[in-house]
Structure 1
């Protein structure tokens, strides 16, 4: 740890991801984004990067639960009839996959109550996990995520999910702006565009602590069961 003006700062990965004050935030790992026959797959969007990432994230979540780390799922949500989407948001959706997948109308995905909105089966929430519905890119915007984190004495968020350059980075930035430490396991985030994925990781390495899932798991697997979060 470091001390600056009487303020204690976590300075090692082990300090940052201590299960006593850490939560894993799983962003948008939903059928419409990640699975064959989902909305993105039907558009011909490349989901190759998700194939190796999903098992790594599955393992991270299993070890997080074993260490007593809080897990919070974020679900992108569109209300039926697009009641949650403003004209500006609809315009944003039309630009999401330019120029590779031009569209004359906004993409429609993760509609509330549809199978496409659900978390993929491999990463299904378990008892004790929390779920937050969001309506914009950031998991903090217009949600109760900050309330849940503070109510559970969380200081560090381990950011995972998709897409790296979109909702993951947006949520990570807002986490910092809300005074949380941010740790990004770079092999537990994914995108349908490798160039944007790498560009986002390049930026986030200069702002947050970027590690691998193995780095984090090595710490959690050594946690004394007597001291883990109950």
Structure 2
């Protein structure tokens, strides 16, 4: 058995568990902003396929009456509300209020009944009212899509679990600038914090809710 096979076998023994979908989920579309789709931008990630998958999941969620939440990143022109994150990660300048790079990605526009949560840090829960909003609405679980897998998706996943929400991450509906961090973070989230599920699996689940 190779070292990689031994590692996978070890993880399977330790972490081979699924928590399943909740009964009252909400769908999150995390930071599908123009900068990630703009050729030549430092954040460009070639993640059109992830957005396409997220839009299909969103359509299934809306058909099932599942709440949809979109997040974006918005900073004061001085960056003061971004603190050490803004200081460290220079590409965050793309998300200063009014920047075209902070606009929604291609084909994505919030519907009137969809909640938009603007944040300054990686997690959609940190420094926002999202956890309270979901709890007040009786939501017991979240389905995550978005950008990037190794950044804001992972941070949101850990916080969702920490707030007590059953958490599912849709593999095809998340994206990153390189396959290695994308796959590594999906692997780790699935081991410890969430169920990583396929687009087909989550759409079938949502269709069942709407039946």
Per the TM superposition, whether the score is higher than 0.5 is: yes
- 1:198-226 CA-to-partner distances (Å, cap 9, x unmatched) read 1101101102111101101112223345x
Question: Quick one: distance in 2 between partners of 1:74 and 1:169?
Answer: 14
Task: Flag the 1:161–1:224 CA change in 2: closer, same or farther, 3 A.
Answer: closer
Question: Quick one: distance in 1 between partners of 2:70 and 2:149?
Answer: 16
- 1:159-214 CA-to-partner distances (Å, cap 9, x unmatched) read 11000010000011011111111001111100012211111011011021111011
- 1:81-127 CA-to-partner distances (Å, cap 9, x unmatched) read 212132x3244314xxxxxxxxxxx6511111332222224121112
- What's the CA shift for 1:157? 0.5
Task: Flag the 1:74–1:107 CA change in 2: closer, same or farther, 3 A.
Answer: closer
- 1:126-147 CA-to-partner distances (Å, cap 9, x unmatched) read 1210011101111111111112
Question: Quick one: distance in 1 between partners of 2:168 and 2:92?
Answer: 31
- 1:3-60 CA-to-partner distances (Å, cap 9, x unmatched) read xxxxxxxx764xx154xx100111110112x2225xxx323x5522x12212111111
In the alignment, structure 2 segments of 5+ residues that lack a partner are 1-17
For normalisation by structure 2, the TM-score amounts to 0.84
SS at match of 1:23: strand
Give the 5 Å matches for 1:114-153.
114-153=99-138
Q: Are residues 1:89 and 2:85 paired? A: yes
Question: Quick one: distance in 2 between partners of 1:70 and 1:124?
Answer: 15
- What's the CA shift for 1:63? 0.9
Number of matched residues? 193
Q: Are residues 1:108 and 2:93 paired? A: yes
Give the 5 Å matches for 1:26-37.
26-32=29-35, 34-37=36-39
**1:78 corresponding residue in structure 2:** 75
Q: Are residues 1:55 and 2:52 paired? A: yes
**1:228 corresponding residue in structure 2:** none
**1:103 corresponding residue in structure 2:** none
- What's the CA shift for 1:66? 0.4
Question: Quick one: distance in 2 between partners of 1:203 and 1:111?
Answer: 31
Compare the two structures and name the one with the higher helix fraction: 2
**1:6 corresponding residue in structure 2:** none
**2:41 corresponding residue in structure 1:** 42
- What's the CA shift for 1:78? 1.6
Give the 5 Å matches for 1:149-164.
149-164=134-149
SS at match of 1:192: coil
Contact 2:19 2:166 in 1 (8 A): no
SS at match of 1:215: helix
Question: Quick one: distance in 1 between partners of 2:186 and 2:100?
Answer: 30
